[in-house]
Each structure stands twice: as C-alpha cells, then as structure tokens.
Structure 1
C-alpha cells in the first residue's frame, strides 16, 4: 500500500454502529475485484415489478466483511426476471443492483483506506450508509489537520434530505491544485463565489482573475481592481494599468508579429532603445542614430550594461520603437576597411520593415490596448499586487479583466505575464509563510499555451509551470472553465482535485476521465445528469468520489442570462 493510501485513523469517542438492522438492503450474489452484484431484499411479492425502494443508483453502502466495512456506491439498479419451467410458469422478479467498491473502513478503529483491503464474500450483508458514516469516510484523510486545530472550508453539503455539511481542509481541496469544471448553467460560478467567501473568512491570500467581471458583488476583506479606464462595479473598484515594461520582449513579438526578415530589426531596435535609456548621451531625442555613425561608443555601452540590455523585460520607451526600427535599416558596415562604422540607409531593409512599422503604430494607437501601451497616471496592477501582499487586513484581490481586449492575443499574453510574475515571487519564497491561492476564471481564455504564427512561436507557459512546480513554493492554482477540452492536458492532469459540475459534451467528459484516474464508472455516468449546483469531487486526497450540493453564496455572481420577460414585454 502506498503512503498516499495510508490509514487516517479517527479516535473512538462513542460506539458507532455501521450496520443498523433498519439499513439492511440485501446480500452479495456475485463478487469481482472492484465491484459486486447485490440481490436487494424486498417485502413485495414475487410478482412485483418494482425494485426495492430502499436502494437507488448513487446511494453509498457498507458491505460487512469483518474486520472491515467495505464502502461502496450503487451504480445500477435493475430487475432480474426468472421464468419458471413450463409455458404457463409465472415469472419471478428480483431487484438487483451493482455496487462499485470505493474504500475500506476498519470497524474497530474507523481507519479509512482507499481501495479494497479484503474482498467481501458472496452472501455478505449490505447496508445503506447513513449521512454520518458518509461524512466520516469523506473527511477521514483530513482528520489530522482538523484535530491539530486546522480550519475547514464549508462550501457544500451532501445531496441528501438532511443536507449533511461537508468540511474540507484547504490542503485537501487545492493543496495539489484544483479544477472547477462544468457546462454553462451547471453552477460553476456559484462554486467559485462560495469558495472565495469561505477563504475570505480566514487570514488567507487569494487572487481572483475575473475574466467577465461577474464577481463584483463579493464583499468582505476584498480589494477590487479592474484593467482599463472604463468604470466598473463596485464603485470602490480601482482602475489599473498593465504597463508594457512589465511584459517581455517576446511578449511584444507575439503582439507585433514580425516576419522572418523583420524580426532581427525589431530585436535590434529594442536593444538600442535600452542603450538610449541607460546612456542618454549616445541618443538624440531618445533614439540611437546609426547611419554612417561609429559603433565604438555604442558597443562599449552595450558591453558595460550587458545585463540590463539582455534582461528579457521591455524596459525602454516604446513610443520611439517605430522610428528606431527605421534607424536599424542600415548596412552593417560602411566598407570593408571601415568595419567599426555603420553604413548608410539600406532601402531594401527599410521597405521590408514598412508593414511592421505601420502595424506597430496602429497597435500603439488603438484604445483597446491603452492599458498596456498608454498606462498614463493609472497605478500599475503589479504595484497593487504587491500592496495587497503587504496588507494583512485584506484576504482577496479581485482583478477584473472584463475590458481587456482579445485583439492581438492581448488577453492570453497579459494573463501569462501576471502568472509569470506570481511564479517569480513564489520562487523567491514570497509565499512560503503566506500560502497564495489564485483562481483563473474562464481559464480557456488564457491557457492557449502556444501562440502560433507563420513566422513566430511563443510559449505561454507560466500557468503550466505553476501547475508543475507551484505547490513546492506554496502557490496553488484553481482553474475554472466550461470547456475542459480547451485546457492543455498537461495542465489539467496536474490538478489534484476536480470539482465536476454537469458536462454533456463527449469530448469534455473524455478529457476529464483521462486527466483524473480517481473518477469511477458510476460517478462518470452521473456527470451529464447533475442538476445546477451539484458537483462530484474527485482527487488524490479523496478516498471516494464525492457528490455534493454547493451552498448558495451570500453574494452570488452576476451570471444570469438575458431577462426576455422583463425587457421584451410590451
């Protein structure tokens, strides 16, 4: 047995009866290594055409197999019809069910282990598991944290009549990262809002990337900021910018999209503008003029400031970029005997760069990307991020990206830049004593991990790296999406816990089943028929797949569809 399957023992505080007589539902008639067939007890006559009313598909059961109680779930209920000999013989109808084995509970200590430690025998008695027993099995793995004074997040209940509350530790829920998946209308947004409200109650740190602006109603120890000058709710929300100098040169390449002939000139222009900033004496109007000029002083400055110039970040005056590209269109040397002097203007290179120059000028002037290229007096999002980290009275930073443009892949590039910054902070041990959780809503909008162009390929790998190594640095990731098929599998497979709402698309369900080895057949079959707010939680720290009903958040997100009755009525 692996360490991850080690028993989580609960102290015995009272007599616990796993097998009350009034919960008895039948016996096993056929047993395999992972499931069994159950003959259900029935008080009906043999002519009955109804299955037992005490057992339905999805019910949790306990199978008596001393010294263990095998915890399982009914995946199928049907009628077995046996006809007596003779043409006129009456049919005998027997209700039967299929039980999938999930975990083993040691009866004496109540220790819970994943899998089957002892295969039950044919004829073993089967009982419906009451809500307290189900809760005990669900919370078994986190008992150590709970007994040592740890906190629990109560964002859901069991979907039974008594609505048994479910408390999960943060370590178990998103300590290995988490994905919240579900089709539109399945309750995914409510789950995110409920999680944020639970986390906000504690001395926690959480960053919510609000892709659509729907979580503006969240209240409490929450700071709201939004990208761009447009006004947003709530009124207290602060407008912020994402200055281009927080992006890398490669990020700008992905936005400007130079072709193979233009790329060297664009790269050289960026380096020259860095020299102009570091050595203003070499510049004229912030530009480095090269035509028929000596290379000596420029190359000496480049050598002296090599670390600053080769730094990947775009720390230069971007409004001078198009003119500097024109200055780069010169011959490499004036003559064979004058290698330390640039040559004159190369009209061929200049002609090739005209389309790039025009494209960059248009991008710099578009209002859609003003928060990047014209930050103005707005504070930087990264400055607000650092202020949030220092503020002990604030637990949640909500970043609304509602007005961040999709043009030129800006949303993917900016999202990746923010993720990269958080990963850099994590690697510098910023979160070791203050674990950080980040929620990426509508994750499919940001996780296009490679921007492909006929001339350039840029890997947007910040969130992939966070998924792979963030846990080591106390940086946890929660992805929320309605399109799991658009999330790269190498990211989705790193999610240690999945909260799965209703999914009807075959490709989405197949992706989820491949990414999560813990989901069983019965749970997978339930996914298309889950009602709004219902979810199945699966993960490496859950001994069994867990069906829950997410609580209604105190401040629900604004995720309602159009109100035709109100606005179309005459």
Structure 2
C-alpha cells in the first residue's frame, strides 16, 4: 500500500534526509501549489514533507536564450508538434517527519534520505486531519490549511512559549488576534489581556466574557519607574531623580502604614518632594516638582485613585480584557502596558510560591497581546514595556504569563524579545529587510518558505513553532466580531459629506 493518495512525481538528483528535488508528472501540474503536503518512501518508512517552492521550465527555452527571434522560431515549431513543447515542473520538498510518528502524535525527523526515482504522492486528507486537527483538549482552530480543506489547530499549552504575529498593514494581523483571542476565551475559558493601540477591537462577540477597560492606574500601585516614565525625566537628571525617588519611597511608606489614602497619594508625593528643599538645591527641587505637575496636567485621567487595587478586579480571570490606548501618547501607552505586564508577572510568581498555603497573587495563567510592538518594544530605544516584555519572554512560561507581539515592522522590534517568541504567525511581508530579520529570529523559517511571504494573500500565513506540529501555510479564519481595523472607504465618506452639504443648501433655499 502506498504512503499517500495520488502519484504527483519522482525524486531526482541528490537528496538529504531533510530535502529533495521533485519533478512532477504532467497530469499533476494543475493540482500543485506551494505549501501542499507530499509523502514518499525511505528505507526507514514513509515521510511527510511540505512543498516549499515550484519552478517551471522548458528544454527548448532555457535561461540562456537571448534572441527574441529564436523564441518565435521555437514557438512556431512547438505549434506544429506539441511533443516538442513539453514543459516541466520541479519543486523543493522539505521532509518533516516519519508519517507513523505523526499519526501517534509525535515528530521524528527523517534520518535517511529517499532515493532518486522514488515516487512522490500527495498526502492523504485523513492523515492531514489527524496531524493538524487533533480532537484533543487544549487545541483550538484558527483556520484551514491553504491547499486542502483541513481545519488547522494550535496547541495553547505551547503558546505560553510566546508568539509573534507579523505582517504588513492590511495583511491580517488584527483579524488573527481577534480569532485567536476569541477562541481562547470561548473554547477554553482562558484569560487574555489585549493592549489596543488604535481602539479597533470591540468585545469580539464575547458579550459579558469581555471587558473594555479605560487605561487607568491607581497611584498607590505605581512603581517609581512608572512615575519617572510619565514625568519624562531625562536620563541625566540624576539629582531630580534622587529627589523624586526619596519622595516616592516616603509616600509609599505612609500609604502602607495607612497614614494616607490612594486619593491623597499624588498630592502627598508632591508635598514630600517639596520638603526636600532643605537637603537639596532649590533649582533641582523645583525641577522635580515641575515634573510632578507635568504628570498631573498630561495624565490626570490615567492616574485615578478610584481605579481598583486588586489585579483580578481589573483583569478578570476567564475573560478578555481590552485596554483601549487610542487616546494616549506613546509614553502614556508605555506606562499602562508596562504596569500591567509587571503586575501580572509579579503576581503570578507570588501565586506559584504561595498556592500551597494561603494563596495571594493572580490566580490563573494569562496571555498578553501587545499591538504595535515596534513602538512599545523598539529595537534601538529603551522603554518600560521592553524591560517587562523581556522579563516575561525569559520567565513567563514558568509562571503562566504568555507574550503575543503584533507588528508590521519586525526589523524595528527588540531582537532579544522577538527571538524568544518560539511561535510565529507570519502573514504577508514585502520588505526584504523585515523578511531577513524574521528569518534571523526563526529557526524553522527556511529560505524557500520566506520567499513565499511577499506573495501571500490577506489572511494567509506561514505558521511555525512548538504550538504547531509542523510548519504550515494556513488561511486564517475570518473574525467578523472585530470593530474596525481595515481601510476606510474614503470615497464614500467624501460622497456623504457632499450629500450632506447639498441637503443643507436645499434647506436654506426653502427657508429664504
């Protein structure tokens, strides 16, 4: 019995255990496309591979042809005798695993190459369903294989090794975030925190399983670094930093002793900084006070003493929490995102340490989705979000805090953080530098697969990493519950304005 379904070609040339060149039969040409799965036999058993690239050619029209007249002569000869015009189709196949291992839920990379002349078959649909759509707890569907009608699922337990969703604008990033977040909540009662930079997500059709939160922080929960960030204190303002730090430590101590309330925190911080005048240069103290006044004027709506103190009251377990950051500048967004990344990691560590006794901290694992990662976790600039994202990338999986980075400019994302995202959903990317940057951060992305990225359709993605059993070309399911994110119809909006103006003119004429 053959390994696969239909004969599609034969192995030619030299093969390695990892790759082979295949020449395809004339009958199979119309059914082939990059990303499809093929099987062949080796001395150790049947192996499954992915077709990474395709190239067509003709013996009579090789690359060396330079004379257009000779091309016309060849075409005339072919028209008289079609046998002369036979074209060929070749492709590179990356062998992924022995088929028997995949059927049993594991991966066993081939150790012996297939021999030249070995028949290559298309993979059986039932085998692909067994591999990519397992009926097991913890796997959720996010789309279908692009080349065959087979549901594609990912392992959410492996997602805690972090994920990057990368694509050009309009490539399908926010749709992917939508379908992933929604299905984690609906199917697994998971907890997801989404930092929405542009206000483009609604409740994703989750109803009371989703909360859209104002980006507010209780001042009693602010770290000194967040105070420093919001005040825009320059790096070289060492004396002002010392003044603010001492004032913050004193204020925090007073709060913990119950001497002041959260409502008094910022005012007391200002007073304590003002008292530093006896020990410091008046000019430096005045500079520090000005920075605190800047926080009040720019971020008065962000620092809210009425904001809940308990993290689980803000980020409810088993729900989607969306922070709408669309009205904040980059510094304000950085403070909000880093604040909740910090608290999630710290409280999950606390929960893990104390769960055998009187448990404190945050009670459940959570995934954090950071939109516009190239802004909040930039390549050549330090931000608080970068620091805490880096900590989560290194430590998060031990404590159940997962990181999901979303960006249209991969080369502008901090490489230390990006390279620690074990999983990638890579939609259309055109910029060569971005593609090269993604390859450097992705061990499983071969050159042939990377070459497919500029030609992907919107919503089509190459998926690699431990959450996926094998590299796959996937059509992501359409998420109809997203509020916005696509291009606006500017022509219709202009037309509506003109119609509105015409209506006003008619009303005025009728009056006068």
Query: For the superposition of Structure 1 and Structure 2, which TM-score range results when normalised by the shorter chain?
Result: 0.7 to 0.9
Which residue matches 1:122? 116
Which residue matches 1:166? 152
Q: Find out whether 1:154 has 2:117 as its counterpart.
A: no
C-alpha displacement of 1:163 = 2.7
The count of corresponding residues between Structure 1 and Structure 2 is 462
Are the equivalent residues in 2 in contact too, given 1:227–1:404 (CA < 8 A)? no
Matches within 5 A, 1:291-370: 317-330=265-278, 349-366=281-298, 369-370=299-300
Which residue matches 1:401? 325
Query: Partners of 1:354 and 1:81 in 2: how far apart?
Result: 82
Coordinate RMSD, CA, aligned = 3.4
Query: Partners of 2:11 and 2:343 in 1: how far apart?
Result: 57
Q: Find out whether 1:52 has 2:45 as its counterpart.
A: no
Query: Partners of 2:408 and 2:223 in 1: how far apart?
Result: 30
Matches within 5 A, 1:1-150: 18-20=3-5, 23-33=6-16, 34-42=18-26, 52-74=29-51, 75-81=53-59, 93-106=86-99, 110-111=103-104, 113-138=107-132, 146=135, 150=137
Unaligned runs of 5+ in 1: 1-15, 44-50, 229-240, 287-313, 332-345
Q: Find out whether 1:556 has 2:486 as its counterpart.
A: no
C-alpha displacement of 1:115 = 3.1
Tell me the secondary structure at the aligned position of residue 372 of structure 1. coil
Which residue matches 2:425? 499
Q: Find out whether 1:379 has 2:307 as its counterpart.
A: yes
Are the equivalent residues in 2 in contact too, given 1:190–1:557 (CA < 8 A)? no
Query: Partners of 2:144 and 2:384 in 1: how far apart?
Result: 44
Query: Partners of 1:188 and 1:40 in 2: how far apart?
Result: 35
Query: Partners of 1:223 and 1:543 in 2: how far apart?
Result: 30
**Pair 1:97–1:450, CA change in 2 (3 A):** closer
Matches within 5 A, 1:263-274: 263-274=241-252
C-alpha displacement of 1:194 = 0.9
Which residue matches 1:524? 450
Unaligned runs of 5+ in 2: 63-69, 78-83, 353-360, 499-512
Which residue matches 1:486? 412
Higher-helix-fraction structure: 2
Query: Partners of 2:225 and 2:112 in 1: how far apart?
Result: 57
**Pair 1:528–1:449, CA change in 2 (3 A):** closer
Tell me the secondary structure at the aligned position of residue 95 of structure 1. strand
C-alpha displacement of 1:184 = 0.8
Which residue matches 1:226? 213
Are the equivalent residues in 2 in contact too, given 1:539–1:545 (CA < 8 A)? yes
**Pair 1:564–1:450, CA change in 2 (3 A):** closer
C-alpha displacement of 1:116 = 2.1
C-alpha displacement of 1:466 = 1.0
Which residue matches 2:355? none
Deviation string for 1:211-262 (max 9, x for gaps)? 222111422242323326xxxxxxxxxxxx2123212112212332151333
Which residue matches 2:463? 537
2:333 equivalent among 406, 411, 422: 411
Matches within 5 A, 1:215-294: 215-220=201-206, 221-227=208-214, 241-256=216-231, 257=233, 259-274=237-252
Deviation string for 1:158-180 (max 9, x for gaps)? 123x53212333124x1311111
**Pair 1:189–1:274, CA change in 2 (3 A):** closer
After superposing the two structures, state which structure 1 stretch, 555-564 or 259-268, moved more. Answer: 259-268
C-alpha displacement of 1:68 = 1.9
Query: Partners of 1:243 and 1:555 in 2: how far apart?
Result: 31
C-alpha displacement of 1:95 = 0.9
**Pair 1:263–1:450, CA change in 2 (3 A):** farther
**Pair 1:79–1:318, CA change in 2 (3 A):** same
Which residue matches 1:234? none
Tell me the secondary structure at the aligned position of residue 351 of structure 1. helix
**Pair 1:271–1:423, CA change in 2 (3 A):** closer
C-alpha displacement of 1:545 = 1.4
C-alpha displacement of 1:53 = 2.7
1:427 equivalent among 337, 342, 349: 349
Query: Partners of 2:174 and 2:54 in 1: how far apart?
Result: 31
Which residue matches 1:179? 164
C-alpha displacement of 1:80 = 4.6
Larger Rg: 1
Query: Partners of 1:560 and 1:199 in 2: how far apart?
Result: 23
**Pair 1:433–1:106, CA change in 2 (3 A):** farther
